[in-house]
Amino acid sequence: MKSIIIVKLDDVIDCSTVDVLFLIIDLNLQESKMHDSSQLKKEFIKKWVQGLQICCSSKRQMSILERKRNIKLSADIALASAKNATTSWSKALISEAKKDREKNILVDNLLGHESKFMGAHQKVTSHNRIRSKKILRRSCGIGKRIKKMGYRRSDSPTCIAKRLVKKRTQVLKRLVPGGESMDEFSIITEALDYILSLRVQVDVMKNIVNATNLLN
């Protein structure tokens, strides 16, 4: 193991310390294949390292805010691509990033061939879905208005509860990427998955922050 590290460090002399750090982590992760979350962690770190390298190589001097944005962006995309686009929130994240030209480079580099395969197609479908949903909602709204004119039942407790749930579901839809075009059942499934992967992301980032603190 010692020798591997030395070799890696030799390769990396001209990179930044952070990269060294990631490489060491990366190296260790390659050997660990335990359960699902560690697998995801490994994927995530691998992608993130790539993403950060791309980000850092593009511009040498950046303000802190810019750095932060880049770091977050690369982390998000890494997370999405670590999920391998099996879930719709990750697809939505990637297609969102693809709209931006600068981010597009990052996505292309991270995903490789897959992104070209699914990119444009995905964008169109998600747009369409949102639009049709909007139309549907509008037409539903008309129906509701007529109903409410007839008799007012919005005061009953079940109605209030329903309204509360609906409002919260809409908030949740806004929180989960790509949630606008989902129905109630799939939004909950997606939220489940999204929470799990956010946890992985937070875990990894925390560890790295601690590591960098120790380095200083």
Partner 1 sequence: MNRAYPEMLDLHNATVTGRADESVFERQQARMKWQQQQHQILFNENDHQVPIPSSCLIGNIKPDPGLLNGWPDFSDGCDDLFQPLMADQRILQRNSSSVSLSPKKRKNLENQKVLSEVNGIKGKKIKGSSNESSTETSTKEKSKVTETQKPDYIHVRARRGQATDSHSLAERVRREKISERMKYLQDLVPGCNKITGKAGMLDEIINYVQSLQKQVEFLSMKLATVHPRLDLDIDNLIMKEMFEVSAVSYSSEMVNSSYFQLNSLLEMGINPIDMLLRRSMGGTQVPETFCVSSCFNQIQPSVTWDGDLQNLYRMELHQDTIPYNHSQKFTGSYEGCNLKMEM
User: Contact positions toward partner 1, by CB under 8 A?
Assistant: 1-2, 5-6, 9-10, 12-13, 16-18, 20-21, 24-25, 28-29, 31-32, 34, 37-38, 41, 45, 64-65, 67-68, 70-72, 75-76, 161, 164-165, 168-169, 171-172, 175-176, 184-185, 188-189, 191-192, 194-196, 198-199, 201-216
Note whether 187 and 173 are within 8 A (CB): yes
Based on CB atoms, which residue is closest to partner 1, 20 or 118?
20
Which residues make Cβ contacts (< 8 Å) with residue 4, sequence separation at least 6? 27
Query: Nearest distance from residue 116's CB to partner 1, in Å?
Result: 28
Q: Are 46 and 29 in contact (CB under 8 A)?
A: yes
Nearer to partner 1, 85 or 204 (CB): 204
Residue 66 structure tokens: 């810019």
Burial state string for 43-66 with b = 16 or more CB within 10 A and e = fewer than 16? bbbbbbbbbbbbbbeeeeeeeeee
- Whichever of 1 and 142 has its CB closer to partner 1, that residue is 1
**Which CB, 124 or 136, lies closer to partner 1?**
136
